[in-house]
Amino acid sequence: MFEQPERHEQPEHRFERGTDGPKVIVVGVDGSDSSLRAAAYASGLARRQNALLAVVYVQPVMAAGAALGAPVAEVTDGIAEDLIAQIRAAAERLKGIYAVRWEFHTFRGDPYNGLVRAADELKADAVVVGASEQAGHRIIGSVAVRLVKSGRWPVTVVP
């Protein structure tokens, strides 16, 4: 004769929509096609998770260029202004369709250290970057690979 399994009543579990995912998603942008695809992907993720999207541009510091009299800061400031204009235009086109909370931040330095600093300061739960489009990165490692190896946040690399 088979015995009936013992049953234990458990309190009803109610799923809390939107509370288990990331609260802050950092996406690195530099104007390249892959970084803009990463921004689009991160935007969708932020919308679905009701997270804050922190769009980060790391302005390169080129001491050699500055020493030669090149207006490096002016050029990188211009890139930052252009990126924020593109992001605002995209947000305006989607207004009323999708609501995404976003902020734009600039940091100075090399891309890897700038994104690490941004993710730390903004208390990121996830980092999204575009895949490197430079051939040399296959040998010395890309920003994405270095972020993954650091193991500090979940990192999504968008092709």
User: Can you give 89-105 as a three-state secondary structure string?
Assistant: HHHHHHCCCCCCEEEEE
Q: Which of 9-18, 39-48, 143-152 has the lowest mean pLDDT?
A: 9-18
- Which pLDDT does position 77 carry in this prediction? 73
Angle (CA) 15 19 20, round 5°:
85
| Secondary structure class of 126 (helix, strand, coil) | strand
Task: Report the Cα 55 to chain-centroid distance in Å.
Answer: 6
* DSSP SS3 for 11: coil
Q: Confidence band (pLDDT; 50, 70, 90) for 102?
A: confident
Confidence of residue 127 (pLDDT cuts 50, 70, 90): very high
CB 142 within 8 A of CB 132: yes
* 3-class DSSP assignment, residue 155: strand
Split at pLDDT 50, 70, 90, the class of 71 is low
CA distances from 4 to 1, 7, 17, 49, 146 (A): 10, 9, 35, 42, 55
Sign of CA dihedral 116, 127, 106, 70: positive
pLDDT reported for residue 135: 54
Q: Are 27 and 56 in contact (CB under 8 A)?
A: yes
What's residue 139's pLDDT? 47
**pTM of the predicted model as reported, rounded to 2 decimal places:** 0.72
CA distance 153 to 116: 10
